[in-house]
Amino acid sequence: MTAIKVPFIDLKQRYEEEKSELLACVERVVSQGHFVLTQEVSEFEEQAAKYVGAKHVVGLNSGTDALMMALWAHGIGKGDEVITTPVSFVATTGSIVHVGAKPVYVDVRDDQNMDPGKVEAAITPRSKAIMPVHWTGRIADMNAIMEIARNHKLLVIEDAAQTMGAYYHGKHGGSFGHAAAFSAHPLKNLNALGDGGFMSTNDDEVARKVRLYRTHGLESRDSCVLYGVNSRLDSLNAEVLKYRLGRLKSIVDRRRKNVELYRKLIKQGPIRIPAEQPHEHNSYVMFITQADARDKLKNYLAQRGVESLVYYGTALHLHKAAEKLGYGKGDFPVAERQCDRVLALPHHQHLTEDQVAYTAEAVNKFYGA
């Protein structure tokens, strides 16, 4: 096969595709000379709330802040425990630690999402919330998780950072729990020009508190009712996100098409692709395979011009920062085994069928299939 380049991500191509509309967004916001909490932010919030199926969306400057504020606004802090998963980006655990609570992990299922069957054993009198992660844009098993939460009177804060465009039994991610945190980081499907994020909730009081907290607790210019932070979604990014929300479906559809083609072409066995269940509509922020001899495969692909990434090689309980939590190797065997095997293949919306086919062929060749 003739060598071709297959980049893992191509944000420059995205810019080329959207250039005139993005520049029009810049022009609209910059020309009016107002950049903070303008109507672009509230318009985006309304549109995103409708898309997600929540009563409120509050625009913030990252998914991490959205997680922290969702916990804080529900009164979760010192002495509380939050049940979560060791398979995620570090910010999931970080947000729990930053509000003063203790992360308590439960292992994952084969699809890398929280195993609801393991949650009840992790509940203690200090448990206050469950924080499932919709990893890669596959919604965790929310029917089971919500039932456990109801039975034990626990809150559910969804880490929906990777969830825009993902559905479970026809319902959009982030609309199941008491609140959800979304990221608009440049590598997400709905992405800002830099950092951005938002929180969704149906609870008027939680939305009101987070709206205050994101802007120093200022009720008006001269009245501070609580001490908050500066975590406002920029007007410029709100305008960009409004535009990109209209294109989200096409981005997700193109990614889904590439994943489908991979499923057809890659001979599974030594490399596995977790199946998409009939009730799932995954948004594929990442396309993660589980591969034997993962590091060798990664090098083999790199030599052939294919970029792939290990997302992630270390389970959250085994990071240095987690030492104080008291976990060790072997505590979450499914997650740990996956961390040795996970490899994300390029699947972004700008890839051609030839690039996907070339990558799949290289994978098959590596395994001698």
Ligand X SMILES: Cc1ncc(COP(=O)(O)O)c(C=O)c1O
Residue in 183, 201, 237, 290 binding ligand X, rule: CB under 6 A: 183
**With CB under 6 A as the contact rule, which of the stretches 38-46, 85-93, 270-278, 321-329 interacts with ligand X?**
85-93
What gap in Å lies between CA 299 and CA 217, rounded to an integer? 50
Residue 338 interacting with ligand X (CB under 6 A)? no
Which of residues 116, 197, 228, 346 is near ligand X by CB under 6 A? 197
Q: Which is nearer to ligand X, 163 or 258 (CB)?
A: 163
- By CB under 6 A, tell whether 177 contacts ligand X: no
Task: Tell me which of 85, 92, 290, 349 binds ligand X, using CB under 6 A.
Answer: 92
Q: Which is nearer to ligand X, 176 or 366 (CB)?
A: 176
Asked whether 307 and 329 are in contact (CB, 8 A), the reply is no
DSSP secondary structure letters along 314-367: S-GGGSGGGGGGT--TTSSHHHHHHHHHEEEPP--TT--HHHHHHHHHHHHHHT
Cα separation, 223 vs 220, whole angstroms: 5
φ, ψ for residue 368, nearest 5 deg: 70, 25
Torsion angle, alpha carbons of 219, 225, 231, 234, to 10 = 10
Name residues contacting ligand X, limited to 100-139 (CB under 6 A): 133
Candidates 138, 159, 149, 140; CA nearest to 94 is 159
Tell me: does residue 283 bind ligand X (CB under 6 A).
no
**Binding-site size, ligand X (CB under 6 A):** 15
Contact code string over 30-69 relative to ligand X, x by CB under 6 A: --------------------------------xxx-----
Give me the least distance between CB of 139 and ligand X, in Å please: 13
Q: Residue 12, class by beta-carbon neighbours within 10 Å (0-12 exposed, 13-18 middle, 19+ buried)?
A: exposed
Cα first-last separation, the chain = 15
**Is 91 a binder of ligand X (CB under 6 A)?**
yes
Peptide bond into 312 cis (omega under 30): yes
From candidates 44, 51, 89, 327, binder to ligand X by CB under 6 A: 89
84: CB partners within 8 A, 6+ apart = 92, 93, 96, 103, 104, 105, 106, 114, 130, 131, 132, 133, 159
Any contact of residue 239 with ligand X (CB under 6 A)?
no
162 binds ligand X (CB under 6 A): yes
Q: Which is nearer to ligand X, 61 or 258 (CB)?
A: 61
Chain centre to alpha carbon of residue 56: 19
CB of 125 to ligand X, least distance (A): 28
Provide, rounded to whole angstroms, the least separation between the CB of residue 59 and ligand X.
12
Residues that bind ligand X (CB under 6 A): 62-64, 88-89, 91-92, 133, 159, 161-162, 183, 185, 195, 197
